[in-house]
Amino acid sequence: MTSISSTRFLLCGLLLCTLSHLSFAESVLTEAEIKSKYQNCSDGYYSGPRPGKTHYTKDDYLWVVSPEFASKYCMPPEFVDANLKGAEAVAFHLLQEGAEQCGYGGNKENCSRRIALGFEIYYKKDLTLPAISDTKYSVGALYMLPVSKHLLSNNLPYSVTRKDTGSTWSNERPGFQTKFKQSSFGLVGVKGDRVVWPITALGEFMYIEELLPGYNFISLEGNIGFFTNPRMEKQGVNKFVLVLRKPEVQGSNGRLLSEFAHVIELPEWFTEKVRAADKLKSSGWKQLIQHTLPTQSK
């Protein structure tokens, strides 16, 4: 698991990172000074841009972390917010899934790629969440990974249900079994202690038990475009949280937060940036629709 942890931190990033990290006016630190200043924490360190560093991992994630998590991994102070509740770290970015699809509106040059909201969550291992399996590792969304998917078959063995077990072949593959019930996570708008507007369901993208010492990891993805609903905006909703429904519960709208199996409270500055990123990308998709299908879009 150590190699996975190291890889994870070599890939971490920050959405909307500022040029202040790269200012040439700052004095360049020596390797010894970098280790003393940024790599002296108990469990690891953040490899992204920091003042005085000339070598770093480019970071296109938006982070919010608890003070405890920051102290263990030398996270930048601008990431830290004690208002994060229910998780120790949350990293947001926009996922670009698969290859570009072309031919929208009958024009072969009109191409687009599905973009989704992506949340990566680190939470304490001793936090008990209602799981539907005992798997310790799940990577079910292989179609989103950068692999060759240009050869398509009309006869997929994993789409056939096995008569002897009643399950599909795909459900028996190591790493495919999901940890949580499908779409039981969601991003919702709240007022007070009640959900007033469900933004989007979030599907399990990846789950790794104890990716970091004492912390489990789950990444989630969901559709963009629901922050722009005029009816929601008229309600003035400005607080958004991540929720996990109990397996037997359907729907989120109108529910008290106490009715959920788990709630992750996010600082308002964090969700405002998520909201802005969602609106920016969803407007691009709407422009494509209006350009390629003007009659239907109206």
**Mean pLDDT by groups of 10 residues along the chain of 298 residues:** 40 39 64 93 92 91 96 96 98 82 76 84 96 85 53 51 52 69 93 93 91 94 87 86 91 91 97 92 55 47
**224 is a domain residue:** yes
**55 lies in some domain:** no
Give the SS3 label for residue 176. coil
Asked if residue 38 is part of any domain, the answer here is: no
Residue 64 domain flag: no
pLDDT for 233:
79
Q: For residue 277, is it within any domain? A: yes
Quick check: is 226 in a domain? yes
Pair 193, 206: CB distance under 8 Å: no
Compute the distance between CA of residue 184 and CA of residue 87 in angstroms, rounded to an integer: 17
What pLDDT shows up at residue 1? 43
pTM attached to this predicted model: 0.78
Judge whether 23 lies within some domain. no
Count of the separate structural domains present in the chain: 1
Query: Does residue 6 lie in a domain region?
Result: no
Residue 240 sits in which domain range? 83-297
d(CA 112, CA 99): 9
The answer to whether 93 and 13 have CB atoms below 8 angstroms apart is yes
